[in-house]
Amino acid sequence: MDSITQLALGAAVGEAAAGRQVGRRALLWGAIAGTLPDLDVFIPFGDAVRDFTYHRGASHSLFVLLALTPLLVWLVLKLYPDTAGHRRRWFVMIYLVFATHVLLDSFTVYGTQIFWPLVTTPMAWSTIFIIDPLYTVPLLLGIIAALIAGRRYSWGHLANSFGLVLSTGYLAWTLGMKLHVENVARNALQQQNIAATDVLTTPSPFNSLLWRILVVDDRHYYEGYYSVLDDYSSISFGRHSRQLELVEPLREIWPVQRLRWFTKNFYAAALSGNDIVITDLRMGTEPEYVFRFKVGEMGNPHAYPAPVERLPAIRNYERLGRVWDRIWDSRAEM
């Protein structure tokens, strides 16, 4: 999730877990702990593919964060020795903030290696977009109320807890919507005789009403949209070539193997000039995608590896208005 949401979640969880014992310091250190795991974006891992695929790795492991918790508790107690009697409370609070951070990230499409190093496959349940105001706003209102309440602790604590309940309830709603959309999508694919190797459903930007459906087979990928307000027969799929023959000569090189693994097969290749490019199809919409990587160059007549390079994201902000229209009207174009 985005940094503001993780900061707000950390502060809300901190206040709920330890606000009664340590006051506003629980909000502050909850916000700090809620931000720490994402600082791995500042660590250079060696090249563009490593930077992309190692993010949300060790720094988001429930085991690594459990080992880090005593160090952060030690720092807190150095700063606030008067709270030494609440050492266990600090420990529980900080680890809860860490754990909720990485679990929330697992609800996005990017994926999170929460069981690293035992299991390195990223968990990606893909039920919520990386920025969703309906999840974040209740958290912000709750922590603002807790800050305003000050010594009148009870009502501020109640407001913060209510914000947590609302945001958690919304997350449960997105899970229910995903199950519904997946059922509708698979029925539509069957009716249209589209044989799928893999199917991904993920919410469109800033909402959980309109969902993008991505389907891949060995040669093509298909993209469609479904609003929970649509009837069951309104999914229209566009078909596009994956052009995997471009990367076939490069299949043994590490960047290609790593991207195939990380994208869980939801990738396509393309030729841009002489550059061979791999696109992560999960994040974006046809033909605009966020993560694209140059992995080779086309020679005469064979492809050969080239230094890995992340290409600029393709963004079209006009689509945001189309998202709103498509939620309500199945005939609207994306």
Q: What is the pLDDT of residues 200-235, one digit of tens each?
A: 999 999 999 999 999 999 999 999 999 999 987 678
Dihedral over Cα of 171, 172, 176, 179: its sign? positive
Q: How confident is the model at residue 299 (pLDDT cuts 50, 70, 90)?
A: confident
Predicted confidence (pLDDT) per residue in 49-94, tens digit: 999 999 999 999 999 999 999 999 999 999 999 999 999 999 999 9
Q: In the prediction, which pLDDT does 327 show?
A: 94
- Asked if pLDDT for residue 306 goes beyond 90, the answer is yes
Q: How far is CA 144 from CA 31, 90, 170, 259, 298, in A?
A: 13, 21, 20, 41, 56
This prediction has a pTM of 0.94
Whole-angstrom CA distances from 162 to 32, 102, 153, 315 are 22, 22, 14, 36
- pLDDT of amino acid 319: 85
Question: Strand, coil or helix: what is 311?
Answer: strand
Give the Cα separation of 71 and 330 in Å (integer): 53
Please report the pLDDT score of residue 300 as a whole number. 80
CB 37 within 8 A of CB 99: no
At 153 the pLDDT is 65
CA 157, CA 94: separation in Å to the nearest integer?
18
Q: What is the pLDDT of residues 87-120, one digit of tens each?
A: 999 999 999 999 999 999 999 999 899 999 999 9
286/172 Cα distance (integer angstroms): 29
Q: What 3-state class would DSSP assign to 180?
A: helix
What pLDDT sits at residue 151?
59
Q: Average pLDDT, stretch 170-190?
A: 96
State phi, psi for 240 to the nearest 5 degrees: -140, 145
In the chain, where the domains are located: 3-174, 192-318
pLDDT of the residue at 152: 61
Q: What is the pLDDT of residue 278?
A: 98
**What does the pLDDT average to over 173-197?**
94
